[in-house]
Amino acid sequence: MVFLIVTINTMLFPIFPALRSDLNLSLAQVSLLVVFANIPSALLSPVGGILADRFTRKMIILPSLLLFGAGGLLAGLAALTLENPFPYMLGCRVIQGIGAAAPMYLAMALAGDIFQSTERAQAVGLMEAASGLGKLLAPIIGAFAGLIAWVAPFFVYPVLSLPIAAAIFFLIKEPSKPRLKPGPTLGELKVPLSRRPALIGLAAALYSLFALIGIMFWLSEVLEQRLGGGQILRGVIISLPVMTFLLTTLLAEYFYRLLKIRLSIFTGLAITAGAIALIPPTRDLLFIWPVIGLMGIGLGIATPAVDTLSTNITSVEYRGTVTTVFGGVRCAGAAAGPLTLSLLMKHGPLITFLPIAAAGAAIAIAVLLLLREEEIPGKLIQGDGVSGSAAKKRSFWRPGSNGDN
Q: What is the pLDDT of residues 368-391, one digit of tens each?
A: 998 877 766 433 333 343 333 333
Residue 402 forms part of a structural domain: no
Count of structural domains, the chain: 1
- pLDDT one-digit tens code per residue, 277-294: 999 888 666 678 888 889
**8 A C-beta contact, residue 134 and residue 249:** no
Q: Are 98 and 42 spatial neighbours (Cβ–Cβ below 8 Å)?
A: no
Range of the domain at 234: 2-175+184-393
Instruction: Give the confidence band of 361 by pLDDT, cuts at 50, 70, 90.
Output: very high
160 falls within a domain: yes
Kindly report the CATH number assigned to the domain that includes residue 140: 1.20.1250.20
Q: Residue 340 falls within a domain, yes or no?
A: yes
**170-175 contacts, C-beta under 8 A, 24 or more apart:** 172/58, 174/56, 174/57, 174/58, 174/110, 175/113, 175/114
Structural domain includes residue 153: yes
- Whole-number pLDDT of residue 221: 82
In a domain, 403, yes or no: no
> How confident is residue 175, by pLDDT bands cut at 50, 70 and 90?
low
CA distance 145 to 154: 9
| C-alpha to C-alpha distances, 149 to 155, 228, 231, nearest whole angstrom | 11, 17, 11
What distance in Å separates the CA atoms of residue 259 and residue 248, rounded to the nearest whole number?
A: 14
Residue 334 included in any domain: yes
Contact 250, 302 (CB under 8 A): no
Residue 125 C-beta-side C-alpha neighbours within 13 Å = 23
How confident is the model over 290-343, as pLDDT tens digits?
888 899 999 989 988 888 887 777 655 566 677 778 878 888 898 899 999 999
pLDDT in tens, 10-48: 899 989 988 998 999 998 999 999 999 989 888 887 776
Rg (CA), the chain: 20
Asked whether residue 243 is assigned to any structural domain, the reply reads: yes
Query: Do 239 and 136 contact (CB within 8 A), yes or no?
Result: yes
Instruction: Select from 224, 399, 396 the least CA-distant residue to 311.
Output: 396
Condensed to tens digits (0 to 9), the pLDDT of residues 240-266 reads: 778 888 888 778 778 878 888 889 999
404 domain residue, yes or no = no
Q: What angle do CA 48, 186, 35 make, to 5 degrees?
A: 45
Average pLDDT over residues 169-184: 61
Inter-axis angle of helices 231-249 and 196-227, nearest 10: 150
pLDDT score for 125? 65
